[in-house]
Structure 1
């Protein structure tokens, strides 16, 4: 911070110079005015002596005029080069008072509205912390200096959790939610901190937070893990297994927490069996639907299309929403071609091929690039979404 204060002091001196220099110049002008007034007084005294000598008959009129002219020349010589007197409307005390008040007032305003604490924090964060305590202190100062920083509060909450301070963490996550909105991840973190802050006692508040988080995002990992822990502590081992299996499905294959999570599932299974229960098998996942379709253009249309015209290939439900279930976009230049339409091509998660038993394949050429309207189209007969045999689709009709 010393370089900052040196720069601020230098700027302050520059500002004060605009106030003090006129004051110093006015003092010099005052001395010059005093010397001029003295010369004028001496001149008047000299003229008075000459008049007395003339009255006494010592000087005649000619000598009197010559003496007066000589005195005038001396006065003129003494006053040459003297600047015209300056009139100060402010007076001397006001600039001097301003010179004292400006730095004091400026310092006070900066300490109140300034950002010296943020400058110091920026300097601190340029260096790695030496301990978790030091990191915590830095984050606490960030939150104090920037009370509207949701990011700072979030990281401080995570740090409190790492230091086994769940009550403080719950407060930080609550403030974060108030600033950043009720995002599923934040709700899950808040619920977890509140659960441990309450001594691992499940409460209506924690239940409401986890319910809200999973309603917005059924794959929210913190809420799934927390519900599994609460179920295990409450000896609801089947629920714990179900929640942890859902969480396990969200983790990457190389995630280090998979081993610990799998160990928890194993312990819950053992306890369930030891208590005379039986592990319920998870329902088999529905097989993903994949339709393989070859698309070509009728011979009589090849001269009417352009290579850059868009070709939309999609499947839509025979009974259900009109929106396409799976879509791929190509161009006429790509024809003929073979593509696969499956659940991975779904436009919306709830609109998958596997969710509808019967579909229709459609290929549309649209010069304007619009999937809903075009110039030519080809349609298939209705077929089961579980069909595995390759399909052929010919674009041969005007799109009406």
Structure 2
């Protein structure tokens, strides 16, 4: 606000100089001088006419006429004390002019300017810490649409004064993503990425914004950033989720299944997002041309008297209908919570030359391995399904102990 008033004051001073400077400058009273110059011009013209008339014989006494002209010119010369006099402006006129200038300027700005908006803008800019804290706090009430706009305005104001603040640009980009303002999100994330291209949070945010643009070039850049992040030692779950989404949008359904399966392994079956991922995987496999008949959906329950070791491992295997101990397909999961539903497909096949989808009938076994060694069974709890036909759901209860 101080900068605004300083700029307004400077403009007012410049305007005052334009008004006062001409008033302070003394003005010569040149009316008599102009009359003298005019008389001289008339005198010279009349002499030229006499010369012509003398040559043509119209004038007989040329010398006498010239004398009369000179006497007439001398009679019209202004007095010396009046010649070259000056006029000065009264100080009262200057003061009144300045007062009028200030009054008119302030009145016009008050009437037609945006002083109220400037004051509101400054108030919003001062609220940036409080609005940012509310945005980040999980316990505070969510910001309203009006407060979100105020936060964006305040943040843009600060970034105008600190354009090298990459965290500020990152925050503005995240707000743009949350508000579905794609242009703001991409622009802010791009500025943050230019300032700090090695920051993983900024890379992730920039990739997320680019993927929402719908432009093929932006999507390729985003995919490159995500693949680089996926090769890090620690991989953020959001990176895998965006890769899965990107693969599904490109109709790379096998890639989508791969990434969603990775997410399942990262979050575990006890996570509330696990069933949603399972549904996404089934949808992707259906788009690949794999029917649900080629998959085995197993609902697993645990008897009430079975102690479940939360650090154990759940092993699920599919066997031929004759009960062969060698599994055709198998999968290993963390124990998680029960009941739960798991889906096995050809990707879980164990035997070369035979896929799970080749079986017309099968048996499913599930075992909770308590020591983490799937090769040992002593003391483990298990359950086995009845012979099930291809395409039918499977239900089993873990109630027996080796």
Q: Normalization by structure 2: what TM-score? A: 0.36
